[in-house]
Amino acid sequence: MAKIAIIGAGFVGSTAAYALFLKKVCSTIALIDISKEKAEGEAMDLEQGMLFVPGTHFSYGSSYEQCKDADIVVITAGLAQKKGETRLDLVRKNAAILKEMVPKIVEHNKSCIIILVTNPVDIMTYLTIKYSGFPKERVFGTGTTLDTARLRYYLGEYLNLSPQSVHAYIMGEHGDSEFPVWSAAAVGGLRIDNMHGWSAEAGESCFQKTKNAAYEIINRKGATYYAIALVIADICEAILSDEGKIFPLSTYLENYYDEGDVCLSVPCALGKEGIRRRIQLPLNDSEQQALHKSAGVLKGIIKDIVE
């Protein structure tokens, strides 16, 4: 069975470990944190549930040797934005962490798939591709999978349908310039704008709730971690079972509507090799403009931080 290493045993990393444990996705989970004590405490708390969910073993530490033999390495380590700090300050700090961390992962494991969760995830994905030298198929970010889950939840709530039966994507930056792809949204094979009760205003309201979801949760409880943990578990499961399941992932673009040398989210099929295929959705004019806008925002940040 498989091994998954999670770097960063904070809210997101430890909750992802719990989701992977409950879903029995792998046989070993390694928790790595700059604070060995934190990683140890989380591993102890998790392994004491083995009576109820047998089959997963835990290891922990602050050394990247823990990444050895891992099929997948999930990076959730990083700093959160402090009061008075700009987004760019945060990018620079998390980029510096990655610059030190990624070569150490590679030193112990040259064949793993690396999944980025740390924000801003699109920039972190771009930098990890650069620092690892890995093929682009093996390094990607969770991207707008969480935003898409939120949108499908709100659409399902509005239409009184299961989110699993509402097909719609958020593409672009995992952040303010993301956009919904209404031209490809469907319910039971029917275009969403042909659904009884649908209106552009209803769609916009669901999208605004999606866009503000992280702020709303952070205002109330300080962090978001349950839904992103399920995103991580589902992505890992899809890789290990070689399903070809599709997620909107932050991936390195090459000639996608003429965009390249940037990471942002487009629908991608996943398999054992990582990203098996990027799906080129037939975007309408305004969606294409939104894609270029998102790429422009991200390229601007990359230009600011890459020397």
For residue 102, give both structure tokens.
């990624």
Residue 121 engages ligand NAD in binding (rule: CB under 6 A): yes
What residues does 57 pair with on adjacent strands?
28
Shortest distance, position 197 Cβ to ligand NAD, whole Å: 30
In the bound state with ligand NAD, the residue whose beta carbon lies nearer, of 1 and 223, is: 223
Closest distance to ligand NAD from the beta carbon of 132 (Å): 16
Q: Per rule CB under 6 A, is residue 38 in the interface with ligand NAD?
A: yes
Residues 48-107 that bind ligand NAD (CB under 6 A): 76-78, 80, 97, 101
Q: SS3 sequence, 219-244?
A: HHHCCCCHHHHHHHHHHHHHHHCCCC
The span from the CA of 107 to the CA of 301, in Å, is: 28
- Selected catalytic residue, list 57, 167, 174, 196: 174
Among 50, 88, 190, 223, binds ligand NAD (CB under 6 A): 223
Tell me the H-state helices in 133-271: 145-159, 200-221, 226-240
If binding is defined by CB under 6 A, does position 146 make contact with ligand NAD?
Answer: yes
- Are 91 and 301 in contact by the 8 Å Cβ rule? The answer is yes
Angle between helix 121-132 and 285-305 (nearest 10) = 60
For residues 170 to 209, the per-residue mask of contacts with ligand NAD, x marking binding by CB under 6 A and - elsewhere, is ----x-----------------------------------
Contact 107, 193 (CB under 8 A): no
Q: Smaller CB distance to ligand NAD: residue 37 or 258?
A: 37
User: Does 167 participate in catalysis according to the annotation?
Assistant: no
The answer to whether 81 and 93 are in contact (CB under 8 A) is no
Catalytic positions: 174
Binding site for ligand NAD (CB under 6 A): 7-13, 33-35, 38, 76-78, 80, 97, 101, 117-119, 121, 142, 146, 174, 223-225, 228
